Amino acid sequence: MFQVKQFGTLCSIIKTMENKFSEQLLALRLEANLSRAELSKKLNVSVRLISYWENGQRECDFDMLIKIADLFSVSIDYLLGRED
């Protein structure tokens, strides 16, 4: 998901957060009663990309991560599953 290279290897802590981001995004979207189409309009991305993120099939860049956190009024740490 959020692939960060450190000394030529993928940071394992980031890899373990992949599922958390997917879960958090889905939960936040459902809690806000937003469809994927509505969320895609708010973020100016495709519905398919939202689906990929929620299913852990694609990465989200850091700028978009900030935009998602701001939209749902949560921290980036929350989105990544680093805090409750």
Q: Would you state the pLDDT for residue 3?
A: 53
Domain assignment present for residue 35? The answer is yes
Residues linked to residue 5 through DSSP beta bridges, in sequence order: 10
Domain assignment present for residue 84? The answer is no
Q: Would you state the pLDDT for residue 83?
A: 80
CATH of the domain at 68: 1.10.260.40
Q: Would you state the pLDDT for residue 7?
A: 46
Q: Can you give the residue range of the structural domain that contains 24?
A: 5-79
The shares of helix, strand and coil residues in the chain, as percent rounded to the nearest 5, are: 60, 5, 35
Domain assignment present for residue 34? The answer is yes
Q: Would you state the pLDDT for residue 18?
A: 54
Domain assignment present for residue 60? The answer is yes
Domain count, the chain: 1
Q: Which residues of the chain have pLDDT under 50?
A: 1, 4-14
CB 66 within 8 A of CB 76: yes
CB 76 within 8 A of CB 14: no
